[in-house]
């Protein structure tokens, strides 16, 4: 790992790297189709890629990683693919729990959980509790997540707080506190793989001032070296946040 970190190290004089990177992991199905394989093979390879990126992020200066695993719209896919994806999520959590704890990764989930199986919900809650004290990398996985759905649920929570008299004049911070990502920093950089240039309902509130990078690389082919190149380009950007 030391050799990899050295090869991916930030060049002298390079600008600041993002602390929080969010990724729309797109292209698993096409990756598999291009090889004549079932789509689930691509999803399994994509899960392995997440593991590689999680290990690389701390050495690249990334403290927060948020990945888009399953959207509220993905339920429209075939029953076979949806069930297969849920199985991949469950196995990933079961197999990676020990490694996450040992490597100092804190794992959290965002999105509505009520539609997920009871087993998957238990696994998610279990690994969140098990890794709560870790801080080397904060990994957030969006499952059954949609930005509009999150904002609707947050608005309802905010309305309840107003009705109880806890808040009189709501602010942006009050709404942020009602989001699934309460307590998380906003992403500095959002990456989408596979060549698509849509944001796909991913973190619309949180990413209002994020930098975006769209890459043609399919997610199963996206390596730590690809990430390092994008982080280097990020360092060249002038982020003014509306200022002169």
Is there a binding annotation on residue 29? Answer: yes
Give the pairing of strands 20-24 and 189-192. Answer: parallel
Tokens standing for 206?
Answer: 């949180």
Is there a binding annotation on residue 66? Answer: no
Is there a binding annotation on residue 101? Answer: no
Cα–Cα dist 57/5, whole Å: 10
Is there a binding annotation on residue 198? Answer: yes
Is there a binding annotation on residue 27? Answer: yes
Cα–Cα dist 119/117, whole Å: 5
Is there a binding annotation on residue 138? Answer: no
Q: Which residues contact 124 (CB under 8 A, 6 or more apart)?
A: 93, 109, 113, 116, 143
| Active site residues per annotation | 26, 74
Task: Count Cβ atoms within 10 A of the Cβ of residue 87 and give its class: 0-12 exposed, 13-18 middle, 19 or more buried.
Answer: middle
Is there a binding annotation on residue 199? Answer: yes
Cα–Cα dist 197/216, whole Å: 10
Question: What Rg value do the Cα atoms of the chain yield, rounded?
Answer: 18
5 to each of 45, 59, 178, how far by Cα in Å? Answer: 23, 6, 37
Is there a binding annotation on residue 226? Answer: no
Is there a binding annotation on residue 240? Answer: no
Is there a binding annotation on residue 211? Answer: yes
Cα–Cα dist 103/83, whole Å: 29
143 three-state secondary structure: strand
Is there a binding annotation on residue 180? Answer: no
Binding residues for substrate: 27-31, 39, 43, 71-73, 75, 77, 192, 198-200
Binding residues: 26-31, 39, 43, 71-73, 75, 77, 192, 198-200, 211
Binding residues for Mg(2+): 26, 211
């Amino acid at each position: 790992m030391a050799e990899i970190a050295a090869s991916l190290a930030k060049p002298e004089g390079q600008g600041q790297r993002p602390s929080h990177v969010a990724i729309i992991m797109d292209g698993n199905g096409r990756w598999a189709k291009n090889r004549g394989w079932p789509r689930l093979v691509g999803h399994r390879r994509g899960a392995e890629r997440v593991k590689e990126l999680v290990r690389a992020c701390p050495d690249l200066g990334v403290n927060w990683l948020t990945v888009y695993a399953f959207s509220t719209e993905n339920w429209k896919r075939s029953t076979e693919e949806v069930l297969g994806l849920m199985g991949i999520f469950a196995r990933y959590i079961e197999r990676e729990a020990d490694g996450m704890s040992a490597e100092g990764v804190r794992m959290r989930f965002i999105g509505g959980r009520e539609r997920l199986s009871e087993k998957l919900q238990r696994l998610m809650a279990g690994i969140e509790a098990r890794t709560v004290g870790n801080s080397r990398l904060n990994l957030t996985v969006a499952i059954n997540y949609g930005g509009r759905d999150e904002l609707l649920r947050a608005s309802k929570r905010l309305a309840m707080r107003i009705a109880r008299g806890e808040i009189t004049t709501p602010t942006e911070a009050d709404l942020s506190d009602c989001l699934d990502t309460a307590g998380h920093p906003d992403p500095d950089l959002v990456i989408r793989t596979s060549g698509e240039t849509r944001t796909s309902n991913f973190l619309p509130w949180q990413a209002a001032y994020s930098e975006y990078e769209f890459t043609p690389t399919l997610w199963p082919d996206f390596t730590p070296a690809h990430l390092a190149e994008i982080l280097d380009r990020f360092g060249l950007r002038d982020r003014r946040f509306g200022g002169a």
